[in-house]
Structure 1
Amino acid sequence: MLTGVGPAHAVDAIAQLRQFVAATRSAEGTFEQTVTARSGRKPQQAEGRFAFSRPGKFRWEYELPYQQLLVGDGQRLWSWDRDLNQATVRPIGDALGATPAAILFGQGDLDQDFVLTDGGTADGLAWVDARPRKAEGSFESVRIGLLDGQLKRMEMRDNFGQTTSIRFVSLQVNPAQDASRFRFAPPAGADVIGTP
């Protein structure tokens, strides 16, 4: 249910997001993801685990319905597809840019890359709408849902009319992180696309 909110709430939701980004240097937890196409085809469901340490270090691991691993080591982004025995690597700056991932894993300067506006309240969450300042990449906008200063949901709309919704089932803020979680070495015999 969507309800109208006044300017005080707008400041509150955006302030919650800024505070979360400023105070969260690392996090880990589990997520559920739903991808919905404008065409109306059946939504795609996935779930997995994640961890990050700012800036640029993260591990995003899909466990169901297929296994895929994304690892950012601060300089490179690795994408590992176990079924294909294939790893793709590219510079992390090219991969993050002004994307939804930059909100979680980037430098933390939201206003440099995004225009933030009040997104109202829905589903018991305060929402912030973020649009990239530069039209680059394939995404159009992202909505961030927070509750009591904690990140609960992200909804990303891409330029093809597809919406990806991520629900953070669990999220632990600022845990100690083992640096080895953010390194990736392709297994022997794997195809590697890109230059490590």
Structure 2
Amino acid sequence: MPYAEVAVNAAAPIRQTFTYRLPDELTVAVGQAVYVPFGARTLQGIVAEITAEPRYKDTRDIEAVIDARPLVTPERMSLAGWLSDYYRAPLFDCVSLMLPPGFKRRPQTLLRLAFWAGDAPDDLNDTERTVMDALREREETESEDLKRSLKDVRGVARAVASLVRRGLVARTYRLARPAVQPRV
């Protein structure tokens, strides 16, 4: 199974790459933009290297590919690596110099029911059932909007993760609208 070393767009100045497993259904190349799990969040990343063996034993899967084409050529990835080493700067910051404007936007997590037939399974806990009911009222909703609407309910994020794992809720990502405004 192949693995990818990914430079992650984290808020902290991280110089290292992180190892992620490549799911069978994804085709990924060096320089390609991906969504990866990073702690409890999903962040953007750029594939820095494809390897046959992981650097660490416990790895997580790349969640999705942002663009089918690599955004950065292998030569520019090499240049970004040199910049990172020479100036002791985070690799993603060096790669981002070569990315299209507006790429460093935060991904929005969208949730929807994966099915519409019948009632929820009997083995759901109260929080999972509440999340399912809230999603049944909406066609698709942003994860943050769901958390805000259920602010009095504890464990919403954990319930959503459980429902996604069980295949009852589908999670997709899209880039947020650019934060820049046109000049008038």
So what's the TM-score if we normalise by structure 1?
A: 0.25
Q: Which has the higher strand share?
A: 1
So what's the TM-score if we normalise by structure 2?
A: 0.26
